[in-house]
Structure 1
Amino acid sequence: MWESRYSAETKWAVVKDKLSGQFTNQQIMEKYNIKNVFQIKTWIKWYQKNQLHRFNQPIGKQYSFGHRLDYVSKEEKGK
């Protein structure tokens, strides 16, 4: 399954448009080429819960408190 990647700027623009009340979810999905309405709902939930650090995190596991684990190369793990 292919995962979409949205920039932080796109996520913030979606939240701004949704909170303005001027656009429906369908209009926002078409405007920003978002495939699923749950993505919009997730970003709004992050905003409402003040989890703003999540807007800049990559796809995958979302780490608490705005921190990501540093990735260590295989060579470094062996040392």
Structure 2
Amino acid sequence: MKRVAYSVETKYKVVEMKLKGYSTREIMDALNIKNESQVKVWWKWYRNGETHRF
């Protein structure tokens, strides 16, 4: 299985969509993200002020 590296821009787009009320599934479909937990981790990092981890 190949590891996918997402851009910082994609990660910020996830955060932007979450702030607008989109569901995790909607975000995954719109941005072609395969793993639900990845979206949740980026959202957690944003909420905890850890965007340097992006």
TM-score norm. by structure 2 comes to 0.90
CA displacement 1:34-60 (0-9 Å, x = unmatched): 0011011000110011111111xxxxx
Q: Which has the higher contact order (CA 8 A, sep 6+)?
A: 2
Q: CA deviation at 1:14?
A: 0.6
Runs of 4+ in structure 1 deviating by more than 3 angstroms, as ranges, are none
Unaligned runs of 5+ in 2: none
Q: CA RMSD in A?
A: 0.9
* CA distance in structure 1 between the aligned counterparts of 2:25 and 2:9, rounded to whole angstroms: 19
Residue 6 of structure 1 is matched in structure 2 by: 6
Give the structure with higher Rg (CA). Answer: 1
Q: Which has the higher helix share?
A: 2
Residue 61 of structure 1 is matched in structure 2 by: none
TM-score norm. by structure 1 comes to 0.64
The percentage of aligned residue pairs carrying the same residue is: 48
Residue 43 of structure 1 is matched in structure 2 by: 42
